[in-house]
Amino acid sequence: MRVVEVTAYGGPEVLRSVRRPEPDPADAPGRVRVRLRAAAVNQADLKIRSGRFAAALGALAPPFVLGYDFAGTLVDPAPGLPAGTRVAGFVPWVAEGAGAGTYAETILVEPGWLAPVPDEVDFTAAASLPLSALTAAQALDLMALPDGATLLITGASGVVGRFAVQLAARAGHRVIALGDADDAHELRLLGADGVVPRGAPEEVITGVLGHAPDRVDGVFDAALIADPLLPAVKDDGVFVSASGERVPVAERGVRVDVVEGRPDAARLKELLELVGSGGLATRVADVLPLEEAGEAHRRAEAGRRPGRIVLMI
């Protein structure tokens, strides 16, 4: 089968199209094969490819196959999902430690990672969702804010942040979104009560206090800004970072936590259904063939992409 391998740690040029044997379900009892149609390029893929996570990967080293998110068709039946069902999910790539990601024609997955894709949702949209939307939902769970709390979401122009804005607004919170000034109108349509354009930390704090003079109850930091945002948080508030790479030092009783996105089939099913019914917007910035994974990484690394970059397989 066709896969794209990371041949060595480095820039996008280390990604190479090669052929590998199809995975054999006999090697992993309980797992099922999915014939992929789409795989998304996540920030984690870029960090892993560059070697930034090498220490955390233990004995796993290139060559390996990247990729968390996928959408495709079930080859083998899974509980409640006959062969041929359109499914999506994500491979917990670092936790698995196998280097067998979704930049591939066929993968072997745990049935508990899978959710059916509604007819109205195409494969590219479905692949843009699993890791980011589940992480956003799980970050909000971790914050455990009371109804009507005021919440700052950073990176709101990005994929995780955009999902978080929508899900927090649906949960009845008052959302202040920190994002690109050009996205202000769209972020309000998605549910933000206030939009603060990105800028120097003191400008951001002034902007947040303009919308929430008593400061916010919680921050979900999808842009990994960390400490400079603490002055915007109430005493005993909560701060959840999207990555352990940048976590502020707790002060004034603020609870600091890190969200770790994990597969959740039931939740993903609900999120995909919400996309299908128009209740949750996802954006695909570009669709490129699998063989152009290097170009996809270049574009993702350049930033300012209006949504997820998806590889078509």
Ligand X SMILES: NC(=O)c1ccc[n+]([C@@H]2O[C@H](COP(=O)([O-])OP(=O)(O)OC[C@H]3O[C@@H](n4cnc5c(N)ncnc54)[C@H](OP(=O)(O)O)[C@@H]3O)[C@@H](O)[C@H]2O)c1
Report the candidate in 172, 108, 130, 126 with the shortest Cα–Cα distance to residue 264.
Answer: 130
Applying CB under 6 A, does 223 fall inside the site for ligand X? yes
Instruction: Choose between 81 and 164: whose C-beta lies nearer to ligand X.
Output: 164
Applying CB under 6 A, does 260 fall inside the site for ligand X? yes
Of the listed pieces 15-23, 39-47, 118-126, 211-219, which binds ligand X according to CB under 6 A? Answer: 39-47
| Contact track, ligand X, 113-132, x by CB under 6 A | ------------------xx
Instruction: Choose between 203 and 236: whose C-beta lies nearer to ligand X.
Output: 203
Number of residues written out for the chain: 313
Rounded-to-integer distance, Cα 189 and Cα 198, Å: 18
Of the listed pieces 142-150, 159-167, 205-213, 274-282, which binds ligand X according to CB under 6 A? Answer: 159-167
Report the candidate in 153, 127, 138, 137 with the shortest Cα–Cα distance to residue 42.
Answer: 127
Residues in Cβ contact with 306 at an 8 Å cutoff, skipping those fewer than 6 apart = 157, 283, 285
> In sequence order, what are the beta bridge partners of 286?
309
Contacts (CB under 6 A) with ligand X, residues 162-201: 178, 198
Q: How far is CA 150 from CA 165, 173, 175, in A?
A: 12, 6, 6
Applying CB under 6 A, does 106 fall inside the site for ligand X? no
Applying CB under 6 A, does 154 fall inside the site for ligand X? yes
Task: Report the interface residues with ligand X, using CB under 6 A.
Answer: 42-44, 131-132, 135, 154-155, 157-161, 178, 198, 222-225, 242-243, 259-261, 303-304
